[in-house]
Chain A
Amino acid sequence: MPRRFLLTGGGTGGHVTPALAAAGALAERYPDAEFRYAGLAGKAEAVMVPRAGIPLSRVFSRGLNGAGLGLIAFAWHLGWGVLAALILLLRHRPALILATGGYVAAPVVLANTLLRRLRLTRTPLLVHEQNAHLGRLNRLAARVADLVAVTFPETLREVPAGKGLQVGYPVRQSCRQGDRDHARRVLGIPADALVVFAFGGSQGARSLNRALVAAAPALLARPDLWLIHGCGRPFGKNPARGAYHGLRDVEARLGELHPALLDEPRYLRRDFIDDMAACYAASDLVICRAGAGSLMEVCAQGKPAIVIPKANLPGDHQVRNARVLERAGACRVLYERLDPLTPRAQEPQVPGARLADLALQLLADAPLRARMAAAAGAVVTTDAARLLADCAAYLLGDGPLPTVPAVAVPTMDRVMGLDSAGMENLLQAVATEAAPPLDAAERELLLSKIDDLLASGSWLLRARGCRLAGLAGYREAAAVLRTLAAEDAPLVRRDALKGLRGLGAMALPPVEFAAVLGRGLADSYYEARSEAALTTAICNGKFTADDRRRLTGQLAGLCRDHSFEVRMAAVRALGRLADAPEPVLGALVRVHFDPVWKVRSELFQAYADLTERGVITAAVARQALDSILITANGYLTEYQIRHRRNEALRRVRRRET
């Protein structure tokens, strides 16, 4: 009786390739093996699987995005999918299931789990994860799987203990290293030229294409440099309307920006690259996206790379892939980001100048490229497909578990996969020294995410972006914060002013800062007024005399604000800012009997500040302090027992470490 294997997973080509590679290795090991692929019609697997000579059985599934109607459609498709998968499993009785992730695999994984719970089958489940982060379906599948094979050791952390095994990524045979000189002859490139090969996947990537167009003049200014650019074209014969056509976009932008380059012979543009191997072989530097497939291909070629991960994917998995390789020394990462200064321009970009700089820097440094190439080669497991087949054999009882050298599992950047609230928590922990400070790579990623937030269409995220910019000390965002401080949404205005405070007195030129704060102090929203007043307090000594007088006057007026928070902030700011007793003393006297004690408590600080700064005499201050009402209906509660407990815990913990 032949061994039957059921493969599943897909949606995109990245999930299908490893399944097919594993099928090849399994066919070598079990010559009588029969394969069947469970996938969706109209997705990548519908094209790739029949081409590989494997029959495709249709199931139904759907990605889960959003709630409401999406949820109902999701449940409906998945329900039918599980039913189809149940029939498929019962009819074909596979000996093993290999699931490579993507929502396409959901019906088979669920149906198999159900059958196993009912003890109708014992078919083992082998899962392969391509990315450095478990996908949503694989996260579930890992719980019911017998073995989870992963590409990067970083992912082992997310796999249930004892189930994970690092086998690597089965790279296509056709993409192994080729002959450089031969490839260059074919492409018509001189042997001593420097070649940059850029591609954004078969369908093209807009931000990569545009960055390259912007960087092209600087790159091609170097006379020995050749550029191969796989621009991409829509998928299939009749692409959907509005689908991105890479080549057309690139040509149009070139015509607009640098028409001279349209006829440049050293700039080779293709819509689709048939011979990837030759392009790889000919190149000295690769610029690409960070999908697991393309990255591992580049590494298998032993090429240094500049990687532009696609932002805002589930779990930041492209960023993770890129960072794993960057840390291994195989590539450099550039983050694409939204530009907050051109509002609602919702296309993430990579500045062309940065791309050109980095590329030229790498091209000028041959030893560095050699080191990167060597590191890239070391990342790839050459026999990943065979290891995957060995795993299958182990689950079938036909062999031992393949042994892979144990590696220390590195931790990931803390910013990875965090949502905006998570980032705020992290930064607050850093600010209070509850967490160690961010390293340079973490900060780089964080700032790119803050840019995305600041450019977001949701006012809530913009407001959070402002706060994060302040917490992170993101000086370059000051101009954006200044613009947001004049927004429609009151809470964004408040947080923009708060962010500016976080950036410190030097965030903006003093005259500009004074203008922003002047507007803030006159804001119609009370929290914006109070933030503006607090921000004024930190800018002591930076303003011109004129600005200072105007702001002091505004603050003195705010001591009569109907909101106690504004009064508090104004009193505090006056202590720091005023350099003449009038009109300050008159304004402060009015809050000596303020109904809210928190306002009165600010007075003490303010009078002390004014005395220390020599604005008022000690005698005047003393008299004022005596006349402030000091009844209060608030006090601090301290639970002594908890205090003692924490003290003891601290002492015990010190002993532990």
Chain B
Amino acid sequence: MLYLLLRALEEVGGPAVFRYVTSRSALAFITGFVCVIIVGRPLINWLYRRGYRSFERSYGDINTTAKTGTPIMGGLLMALGGLGAAFLWCDLTNPFVWVLFAAAVYFAGFGLLDDWLKIRHRNPDRGLSRPVKLASQIIFGLGLGLYLAWPGISPFPGQVGTQIQIPFLKGAALDLHFGILAWSAFYIAYHVNAVNITDGMDGLATVPAILVFAVIAVFAYIAGNVQLSSHYLYAFIPRSAEITVFCAAIIGAGLGFLWYVCHPASVFLGDTGSLFIGGVLGTAALMIRQELVCLLAGLIFLAELLSTFVQEQVGFRLLKRRILPRAPLHHAFQHRGMAESKIVVRFWIVSLIFAAFALLTIKFR
């Protein structure tokens, strides 16, 4: 909003600096961070007073009951800070921004509902049922896919909207045509569930998510810039640079949230947060048409989801035994006796490496 205001001022002789994506990204980043820091303490207290507190259970040697009573729905904090900053500094006439806002509100809404149901029933198993959650993700994914593929409505030039870019291969792309609907539904559902499963320790999901957002921001900046995109041989996507500003706002808010969530946490993301992060992450990756690169950057999420799948479907259901010591992955380490803080930091380190690999694809082709 400020963006539009300042652009209007520019007409009558105001500074032109706010026109640039870089300066607005920096401002959005700082605003997001500051917003969360300021709102954080009162919001956490409010959540606690309202009784939005976590129930923790003991699973044998993985006992988190000591964390019982920590406020949940902390995702609300991140969503408010991130969307607030994005609202101030993004170009609100930009279709990319609309889609991201829609995803954020949609998934944060479902997450809120889920958390609220769990609290109302005083039972962490009585939130939204698995089929309902999955249906909500698939419906959004299908809608997004339709938006990408629909000629005339899609904001992408030519075939870009339905193409999957293959990393490490120059100019290689797979055109899915309307298969993009299925891909998009799968991709969104994957991201939402993967982030949800990863969010099992203090700050475990936040930092890897921030890093993937950073990768997306870089790619959006390149794709939205005529010179850079032609220099790095990417398809130019007009107006997509605005995604950078949005990502910067989310990253700022994420760092602000990390302030509170780092071990020992004062607040948990809850499903509000994990659905919000996962949904926006998937949407942003699809909107910048770099799904596979983002998959690489967020390989931690894939490992977590895959470990759960293997354990439950292949192990328990098929072989009637455990395959991994515990699932998801972070619990396997915890089971070995590794302290939570150590696991979290090591996961951050690994995700940083993956993010570096993802950025490597810009040049290595």
Residues of A within 8 A of B (CB): 459, 488-492, 525, 527, 563-565, 596-598, 632-635, 637-639, 642
Taking a contact as CB atoms closer than 8 A, the residue among A492, A527, A632, A634 that contacts B322 in the complex is A527
Q: Answer whether residue B338 sits at the interface, using C-beta atoms and an 8 A cutoff.
A: yes
Residues of A within 8 A of B337 (CB): 596-598, 632-634
Contact across chains for B339 and A491 when beta carbons are under 8 A apart: no
Q: Which residues of the other chain, A, contact B67 by a CB distance below 8 angstroms? A: 639
**B156 → chain A, closest Cβ, in Å?**
40
Judged by a CB distance under 8 angstroms, whether B126 is at the interface is no
Contact with A along B320-359 (1 / 0, CB 8 A): 1110010000000000111110100000000000000000
Find residues 33-68 in chain B having any chain A CB closer than 8 Å to their own CB: 66-68
User: Nearest 10 pairs between A and B by C-beta?
Assistant: A490-B321, A634-B337, A489-B320, A598-B337, A634-B339, A633-B342, A633-B338, A596-B336, A491-B320, A525-B321
Query: Given A459-B320, A491-B320, do A642 and B325 touch, yes or no (CB 8 Å)?
Result: no
A564 touches B320 (CB 8 A): no
Is B264 among interface residues, defined by CB-CB distance under 8 A? yes
Expressed in whole angstroms, the Cα–Cα distance for A634 and B339 within the complex equals 4
Closest B residue to A527 by CB, please name it.
B322
CB distance from B317 to the nearest CB of A (A): 10
How far is it, in angstroms, between the C-alpha of A178 and the C-alpha of B67 when the chains are bound? 67
A501 CB → nearest B CB, Å: 15
A642 CA to B70 CA, complexed, in Å = 11
Min CB distance B66 to A, Å, is 5
Residue of B nearest to A598 (CB): B337
Some 16 contacts from A to B, beta carbons below 8 A apart, are A490-B321, A491-B322, A525-B321, A527-B321, A527-B322, A564-B336, A596-B336, A597-B337, A598-B336, A598-B337, A632-B337, A633-B337, A633-B338, A633-B342, A634-B338, A637-B264
Most chain B CB atoms below 10 A, which of A489, A564, A632, A637 = A637
Q: Say which size band chain B's interface belongs to.
A: 10 to 19
Chain B interface (Cβ < 8 Å from any Cβ of A): 66-69, 264, 316, 319-322, 325, 336-340, 342
Residue of A nearest to B338 (CB): A633
The answer to whether B321 and A638 have CB atoms under 8 Å apart is no
Query: When the two chains form the complex, which single residue of B68, B321, B325 contacts A491, counting CB atoms closer than 8 Å?
Result: B321
Closest chain B residue to A639 by CB distance?
B66
* Cβ–Cβ < 8 Å partners of A635 in chain B: 339
Known: A489-B320, A525-B321. A633 touches B66 (CB 8 A): no
CB-defined contacts of B66 to chain A, threshold 8 Å = 637-639, 642
Tell me the bound Cα distance from A642 to B68 in angstroms.
9
A489–B316 Cα distance when bound, in Å, is 10
Closest to A490 in B: B321
Chain A nearest CB from B185 CB (Å) reads 23
Do A633 and B264 have beta carbons less than 8 Å apart? no
Main secondary structure of the interface of A (DSSP, over half): loop
A633 to B69, CA, bound (A): 26
Most buried by B among A488, A525, A597, A633: A633
Tell me if B's interface is mostly helix, strand, loop or mixed: loop
The answer on a CB contact under 8 Å between B338 and A639 is: no
State A634–B335 Cα separation when bound (angstroms): 10
Q: Contacts A637-B66, A639-B264, A642-B69 known; A490 to B338 CB distance under 8 Å?
A: no
Q: How far apart are the CA atoms of A635 and B263 in the complex, in Å?
A: 14
| Complex alpha-carbon distance, A314 and B265, angstroms | 44
Closest residue to B334 on the A side, CB-wise?
A: A634
Distance, CA A563 to CA B332, complexed state (A) = 12
- Residues of A near B339 (CB, < 8 A) are 633-635, 637
Whether B319 contacts A490 by the Cβ 8 Å rule is yes
For B68, the chain A residues whose CB sits under 8 A away are 642
User: In the assembly, what is the distance between CA of A564 and CA of B320, in Å?
Assistant: 20
Q: Which of B325, B336, B337, B338 has the most CB of A within 10 A?
A: B337
- A209→B343 CA distance, assembly (Å): 62
CB of A357, distance to nearest CB on chain B (Å): 40
- The residue in chain B whose Cβ has the minimal distance to the Cβ of A492 is B320
- Bound complex: CA of A635 vs CA of B319, how far in Å? 34
- Which residues of chain A are within 8 angstroms of B321 by Cβ–Cβ distance? 489-491, 525, 527
- For B67, B319, B320, B342, the residue with the greatest tally of chain A CB atoms inside 10 Å of its CB is B320
Task: Select A565's contact among B264, B325, B340, beta carbons within 8 Å.
Answer: B325
Bound: A488/B320 CA distance, A: 9
Q: In the bound complex, what is the Cα–Cα distance between A638 and B66 (angstroms)?
A: 8
Query: For A489, what are the chain B residues with a Cβ–Cβ distance below 8 Å?
Result: 320-321
List residues of chain A with CB within 8 A of the CB of B342.
633-634
| Complex interface: chain A residues within 8 A of B264 (CB) | 637, 639
- A210–B216 alpha-carbon span in the complex (Å): 72
CB nearest to B263 among chain A residues? A637
Write out the residue numbers on chain B whose beta carbons fall within 8 Å of the beta carbon of A527. 321-322
CB contacts (< 8 Å) of A642 on chain B: these are 66, 68-69
Which of A490, A563, A597, A634 is in CB contact (< 8 Å) with B320?
Answer: A490
The answer for the CA separation of A157 and B340 in the assembled complex, in Å, is 45
Separation of A639 and B66 alpha carbons in the complex (Å)? 7
Chain A residues with CB below 8 A from B325, complex form: 563, 565
Cβ of A459: which chain B residues have Cβ within 8 Å of it?
A: 320
CA distance in complex: A492, B316 (Å): 11
Given contacts A459-B320, A638-B66, 4 further A-B contacts (CB under 8 A): A488-B320, A489-B320, A633-B339, A633-B342
In the bound complex, CA of A552 to CA of B86 (Å) = 67
Q: A489's closest neighbor in chain B, by CB?
A: B320
- The chain B residue with its CB closest to the CB of A524 is B321
- Shortest CB distance B313–A (Å): 14
Q: What residues of chain B lie closer than 8 Å to A633, measured between beta carbons? A: 337-339, 342
Most buried by B among A488, A490, A638: A490
> In the complex, A407 Cα to B134 Cα: how many Å?
50
The minimal Cβ–Cβ distance linking A337 to chain B, given in whole angstroms, is 25
Chain B residues with Cβ below 8 Å from A638 are: 66
Chain A nearest CB from B324 CB (Å) reads 11
The residues of A that contact B69 with a CB separation of less than 8 Å are 642
CB distance from A448 to the nearest CB of B (A): 26
Contact of B340 among A488, A637, A639 (CB under 8 A): A637
Closest to A601 in B: B337
Return A457 CB to nearest CB of chain B, in Å: 13
Bound complex: CA of A564 vs CA of B325, how far in Å?
A: 10
Q: Complex: how many Å from CA A639 to CA B340?
A: 14
> What residues of B have a CB within 8 angstroms of the CB of A597 in the complex?
337
A130 to B322, CA, bound (A): 46
